[in-house]
Structure 1
């Protein structure tokens, strides 16, 4: 079951994906819709904001019946992070609560990731990525409280289980990840 505001957001997404087929343009339009959602009150049901002690938790909130997109909440306790990874599809991320650090990487000729940039995203901030370029990153909760972000993926995450395409070796000098997502609802 969705909140009323999430139901409206899903209807907006259905219009976007029906009207725009180019992945980059689609992600940009989804980002605008997500910005509007983040400041609108009750967005997620309480069960979609439950963390897990062993790793960040992924809750599938909605899957489009035509498999064009999925809405997922990721819930992070302080210090939890992803491995360095890339994606199977375009992705739009908005921070609902807490703070997330995103480290972006470039791959050298041998496929080894090297840090390119770091950003700190607070509530209301939205970013997106479109494979195959510029989508290698690591995300973590670098704050001292619970972080919740809403992700819109251009694939059926209910079937795939994850948006991660490949996991890369840990770059020299970085700490290993604290766990893969734990399945939610």
Structure 2
């Protein structure tokens, strides 16, 4: 991305991901679970490096979680982003515009996944929690739409940083969030 510094480690990560994923965002629509799993394996190998991010790319925001766009492929086929959360900070309940591979770099994230539930007799769907997972440092997970409704929060007492590889052009979209879900959550 113009104007942003890509660390040598992020440059290595980008090269490895680029060997698996298409550069064009039009081609990334056809990406399957096998390719996404390969990206997950690649990202996992980079989470052990202390020099993956610069100090500025690990800066938080006291008001809300912070996104640092690290790289977008020239034709928009994938983007690499760092998300920084302070204690208690969380995303809204949302889904994504594309596949997403997430690796926890520092700390531990807590992810709650949901499904839309249109129970008999209800006019408005509700969200039904499916599971809650703790994703510690060094761990990778991935999402492939549809059915990727979730929220992520920092449930620790320290800073949490995760690295995300999206099959979308974040420099154009600004975020990977497709839709926010402001629906009641079923207990």
In the superposition, the TM-score normalised over structure 2's length comes to 0.87
Q: Which consecutive aligned stretches of 4+ in structure 1 deviate over 2 angstroms post-superposition?
A: 18-23, 109-112, 170-174
Displacement after TM superposition at 1:3 (Å): 1.4
Alpha-carbon contact 1:23-1:90 (below 8 Å) kept: no
Displacement after TM superposition at 1:22 (Å): 2.5
Whole-angstrom distance in 2 between the partners of 1:95 and 1:44: 13
- Which runs of structure 2 are paired with 1:17-96 in the superposition (5 Å)? 17-18=21-22, 21-96=30-105
Q: Summarize deviations over 1:108-159 as a string: whole Å, max 9, x none.
A: 13542110000001100100000012x1001000000000000000000110
Corresponding residue for residue 15 of structure 1: 19
- Which runs of structure 2 are paired with 1:125-140 in the superposition (5 Å)? 125-133=139-147, 135-140=148-153
How many residues are treated as equivalent by the alignment? 173
Corresponding residue for residue 164 of structure 1: 177
In the superposition, the TM-score normalised over structure 1's length comes to 0.88
Bigger radius of gyration among the two: 2
User: Where does structure 1 lack aligned partners over 5 or more consecutive residues?
Assistant: 175-185
User: Root-mean-square deviation (CA), in Å?
Assistant: 1.8
Alpha-carbon contact 1:83-1:168 (below 8 Å) kept: yes
Corresponding residue for residue 108 of structure 1: 117
Whole-angstrom distance in 2 between the partners of 1:170 and 1:58: 25
